Structure 1
Amino acid sequence: MQEWVERAIAKWPNVPALFGWLGLTRRGHWLIQGERITHPRIVDAIANNYACDTHGRWFFQNGPQRGYIALEYTPLIARVQADDRLLTHTGQVIESARALYLDENSAAILDTPDGAALIEGADLAWVLEHLRDGDSEIDDEALAAALATPSGDTTELTLMAFDTRLPVHRCDADALPARLGFVRDPEPRDDEAES
């Protein structure tokens, strides 16, 4: 969190949280009441003050008020950079991951220490370049077999990334939040005030 946010929280500690106003698309665009936010300073402010609470709900801390964010897919969206690094939609470099998940629609999600990161559709070529079937590059048959693996199971594939070999799991899109510890549609808890 930025310093001004921490000062505002200290000054006004009991401002009710906001639910149902903010969102994040699967392409990494912020929304307010369904409309895309495009003003660069606002986009940067959200990115710099975006975090997760202990219940897996992602939010934007706007001064003393916490605005919870409805996620179209995952809390982070990863994009491949020219130097082959992965960068989240918030500008954070992904330096490690625990595993890669493939959903029933061939979406690729990294389980990172900072949260679940969908590799944006245009960058799926990066995933294909780094997938391995044993020590070999994958072919169509190996990929099809991995995608046919039942949800919740580990595939035969691995992902060579971050100087390590990561397991590749199959997980249906609806099961990802529980598996990776995030909430797509945050709601207030009984002990919280809502505005």
Structure 2
Amino acid sequence: MDDIVKAAMAKWPNVPDCFGWLGLDARGNWYMRDDRVQAAGPFPASKGSLLQHEKLIEFIQRNYAADAQGRWYFQNGPQRVYVELEATPWIWRLQPNGRVLSHTGSPVQVLASLLDEGGKLYLATDLGLGLVHSADMALAADRVEAGDWNPEMVLFEELRTRGRFLQSPKASNDKKPA
């Protein structure tokens, strides 16, 4: 977390949390969701504006974390901005050299691979559970064929419990992951 964010949290400790204003899609893209977008429907059916400002995205990604209830947020100074997740809190990008990176750019160690009922591939890593980016499925297939990964079949509902995350913190802001 940025030092400036820590200082703001100490200076203003009682700023209310923000829900519904930020979304992370299944491709690792961030979306700003104003009142009009939120009124039009839940994320991802009503996504909002794709964030494209590189420095803002980097700031969000440096200050991205989860609370004890499995709700993911961006610490924006003294305010927690909870994130609506289309899929999982992490989106994995596979590299041609075999490395796996999070959508935030962090390298990870793969602990297990999982396949849901819809044919989507997930990786459990030292950072957490996430979805493999759809553009990287050819590289993922190579890893499976090479015997590096042996996907375990799971239901998506089980992934939320296993990965300890909530997709919509606003809808469940006082509940623990299912």
How high is the TM-score relative to the length of structure 2? 0.83
Q: What is the aligned partner in structure 2 of residue 81 from structure 1?
A: 95
Q: What is the aligned partner in structure 2 of residue 145 from structure 1?
A: none
Contact 2:144 2:150 in 1 (8 A): no
Q: What is the aligned partner in structure 1 of residue 19 from structure 2?
A: 19
Q: What is the aligned partner in structure 2 of residue 104 from structure 1?
A: 117
Q: Percent identity?
A: 40
The partner residue of 1:63 within 77, 84, 91 is 77
Q: Which amino acid aligns with 1:29?
A: N
1:98-157 CA-partner distances (Å, limit 9, x unpaired) = 21110112111111121212111111112211225xxxx5xxxxxxxxxxxxxxxxxxxx
Distance 2:79 2:87 in 1: 24
Structure holding more strand per residue: 1
| 1:4-153 aligned within 5 A | 4-33=4-33, 34-94=48-108, 96-131=109-144, 137=146
Distance 1:41 1:25 in 2: 19
The partner residue of 2:166 within 167, 179, 183 is 183
Q: What is the aligned partner in structure 2 of residue 172 from structure 1?
A: 155
Distance 1:106 1:26 in 2: 14
Q: Which runs of 4+ in 1 moved over 6 A?
A: none
Q: Which amino acid aligns with 1:43?
A: I
SS of residue in 1 equivalent to 2:157 = helix
Distance 1:16 1:24 in 2: 21
**Alignment: residue pair count:** 159
Which is worse superposed, 21-30 or 110-119?
A: 110-119
Contact 2:113 2:123 in 1 (8 A): yes
Distance 2:127 2:65 in 1: 9
How high is the TM-score relative to the length of structure 1? 0.76
SS of residue in 2 equivalent to 1:104 = coil
Distance 2:61 2:106 in 1: 9
Distance 2:22 2:100 in 1: 25
SS of residue in 2 equivalent to 1:124 = helix
